[in-house]
């Protein structure tokens, strides 16, 4: 997401590391070439793993992104109780059988444990959150060291959980929006690829990374795509300035363009949604032109899920629950309002309309 909490210092960050990224991208290309030559000379070739969103033979590809944090809770802060997680998963299981989680620590093992012990009909694409390790004017040596250790811990934990819960974890996503130009946690391509390889070598599931369409449509995405089993695409019509009547048409077009640009890869949509509130100040007020509201979200949600189901396109709608910890302090901050459930777990119109059918 073009999250408002990521904007501060972004321009300085991009300028300060752009040279380093160019240098490291060249290094990755050399490394990838050497790796390919080594594999060919040894007679070994990487076998691509297929993502199979199935449960008991039934297609479950209409998934949802899941953030567990309620009012007063946040990553690195107060954590949900096990009873709250169990309530969430019970609600989720009535509408989806596939969820996406963004990190491997804090609540992730509790979620997997509940799914396993209660035998819930839910499968998980588990994430490893990767942040910038590049030392720069805005990221000192100490902070860069802490970031590297955090990344290593995320990777180690996602490997452990994927192997400990083989029935529940059907894929691993390493890094979220680490390559697109506007990210506040831009990561060197060689660093991302190294972590993807590490996870892939230590697990049996398909491994990927998620990013915005404005990365996957660029030449530099080809190198990253070589190292993943499938592509996870973020395609937010609302952030692109679309109005509700044209939002789904745009979504379909961008998806088709990325599929054409990466013809040898399966493309999964990892984020697409419509927020129900937008603040009238800041970047969101400039970029978002379409009306925010439950009726608009209901329309987009229905169109999106119908299209995905009809075409058997694996997707993760963004998102299950509103997340109050996101964005700035104003209650209308857009990042807080993408859920089809309110933060108090009451359903919005997108779901109540389905329940009434």
| Residue 100: C-alpha distances to residues 12, 226, 256, 267, 277 (Å) | 31, 22, 22, 15, 23
Measured CA to CA, the distance from residue 316 to residue 102 in angstroms comes to 12
Closest alpha carbon to 186 in 196, 176, 195, 198 = 176
Strands 169-176 and 98-100: unpaired
Asked whether the predicted pLDDT for residue 226 surpasses 70, the reply is yes
C-beta atoms surrounding 143 within 10 Å? 15
Predicted confidence band at 137 (pLDDT cuts at 50, 70, 90)? low
Across all residues in the chain, what is the average pLDDT? 89
Q: Which residue spans within the chain are E strands per DSSP?
A: 54-55, 58-59, 62-65, 98-100, 123-128, 169-176, 207-212, 231-234, 267-271, 315-317
- For residue 194, give the nearest of 214, 168, 165, 223 by alpha carbon: 223
d(CA 337, CA 355): 21
How large is the average pLDDT for residues 202-229?
98
What is the predicted pLDDT for the residue at 14? 35
Q: Which residue has the tokens 């990553």?
A: 75
The confidence score (pLDDT) of residue 355 equals: 73
> pLDDT at residue 304 above 80?
yes
Residue ranges of domains in the chain = 4-44+56-356
Q: Which two tokens stand for residue 115?
A: 């799914």
pLDDT tens string 175-190? 999 999 999 999 999 9
Long-range contacts of 311-314 (CB under 8 A, 24+ apart): 312/59, 312/61, 313/61, 313/255, 313/268, 313/269, 314/51, 314/53, 314/61, 314/63, 314/98, 314/266, 314/268, 314/269
Question: What is each CA distance from 82 to 72, 87, 94, 250, 280, in whole angstroms?
Answer: 16, 9, 19, 40, 37
- The per-residue pLDDT for 46 is 62
pLDDT (0 to 100) of residue 181: 97
4-44+56-356 has CATH 3.40.640.10 classification: no
Note the pLDDT of residue 43.
Answer: 37
Q: Which two tokens stand for residue 304?
A: 């999106």
Q: Compute how many other C-beta atoms are within 10 angstroms of the C-beta atom of residue 23.
A: 12
Per-residue pLDDT tens over the stretch 58-86: 999 999 999 999 999 999 999 999 999 99
Point out which residues pair with 100 in neighbouring strands.
Answer: 65, 125
N-terminal to C-terminal alpha carbon distance within the chain: 31
């Amino acid at each position: 997401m073009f999250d408002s909490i990521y904007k501060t210092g972004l321009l300085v960050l991009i300028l300060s590391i752009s040279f380093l990224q160019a240098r490291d991208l060249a290094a990755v290309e050399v490394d990838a070439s050497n790796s390919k030559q080594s594999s060919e000379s040894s007679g070994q070739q990487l076998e691509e793993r297929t993502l199979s969103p199935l449960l008991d033979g039934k297609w479950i590809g209409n998934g949802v992104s899941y953030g567990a944090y309620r009012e007063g809770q946040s990553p690195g802060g107060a954590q949900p109780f096990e009873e709250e997680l169990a309530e969430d998963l019970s609600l989720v299981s009535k509408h989806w059988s596939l969820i996406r989680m963004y990190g491997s620590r804090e609540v992730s093992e509790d979620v997997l444990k509940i799914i396993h012990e209660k035998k819930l009909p839910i499968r998980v694409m588990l994430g490893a959150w990767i942040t910038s390790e590049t030392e720069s004017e805005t990221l000192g040596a100490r902070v860069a060291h802490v970031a590297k250790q955090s990344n290593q811990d995320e990777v180690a934990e996602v490997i452990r959980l994927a192997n400990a819960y083989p029935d529940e974890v059907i894929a691993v996503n390493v890094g979220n929006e680490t390559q697109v130009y506007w990210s506040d946690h831009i990561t060197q391509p060689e660093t991302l690829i190294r972590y993807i390889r590490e996870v892939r070598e230590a697990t049996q599931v398909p491994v990927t990374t998620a990013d915005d369409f404005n990365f996957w449509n660029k030449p530099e995405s080809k190198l990253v795509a070589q190292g993943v089993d499938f592509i996870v695409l973020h395609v937010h019509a609302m952030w692109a300035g679309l109005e509700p009547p044209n939002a789904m048409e745009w979504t379909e077009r961008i998806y088709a363009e990325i599929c054409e640009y990466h013809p040898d890869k399966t493309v999964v949509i990892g984020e697409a949604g419509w927020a129900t509130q937008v603040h009238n100040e800041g970047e969101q007020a400039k970029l978002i032109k379409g009306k925010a509201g439950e009726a608009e979200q209901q329309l987009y949600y229905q169109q999106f899920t119908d299209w995905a189901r009809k075409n058997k396109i694996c997707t993760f709608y963004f998102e299950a629950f509103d997340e109050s910890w996101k964005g700035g302090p104003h209650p209308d901050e857009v990042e807080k309002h993408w859920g089809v459930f309110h933060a108090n777990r009451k359903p919005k119109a997108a779901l109540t309309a389905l329940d009434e059918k």
